[in-house]
Amino acid sequence: MTIKGSPDFERKVQRALELVKTAGYYDFLRTYIRSIMEIDGLTQLHEADAEIWANKYAVENAVDTASLFVQKTNHMKEYLEGKLYYGGTAEKRSVEKRIEFLRILRSESKEKEVVAECERLLKLWKESSLVY
């Protein structure tokens, strides 16, 4: 996994990747994503290079960043499988993958701060899912 960006960006991405490993999702991520690159624009998946483009704000919260990486990885997986990987239904599938990751990380992590942040994010996702 290649990380391209400032030293601070690289450090924060490494921390998020540690959490991805804790939850057992690192092989999933490595299968579909080649690199994570810092950009000044909007965070997005760049399918042509199997690369996640992330801005400095997207990597501030390690737990949220890790779950975002899992969500973007799911988009890439669906893209490669020829599925419709964008739009409402596809986004819902990827958000479900993100929520699944947060639940597993919550149960696998031994860090109280990580567990608490997983619970906070899961609550936010539950509240936002009421909109669907």
How confident is the model over 95-110, as pLDDT tens digits?
999 999 999 999 999 9
List of E strands, the chain = 2-4, 35-38, 44-46, 51-54
Structure tokens at 54: 């992330």
pLDDT tens digits for range 22-80: 999 999 999 999 999 999 999 999 999 999 999 999 999 999 999 999 999 999 999 99
The side-by-side arrangement of strands in the sheet containing 35-38 is: 2-4, 35-38, 51-54, 44-46
Q: Does the pLDDT value for residue 18 go beyond 70?
A: yes
Does domain 2-129 fall under CATH 3.50.50? My reply is no
Predicted model pTM:
0.94
Q: What is the mean pLDDT of residues 78-98?
A: 91
pLDDT range class, residue 130, cuts 50, 70, 90 = low
Domain borders along the chain are 2-129
Tell me how far apart the alpha carbons of residues 11 and 86 are, in angstroms, rounded to a whole number: 30
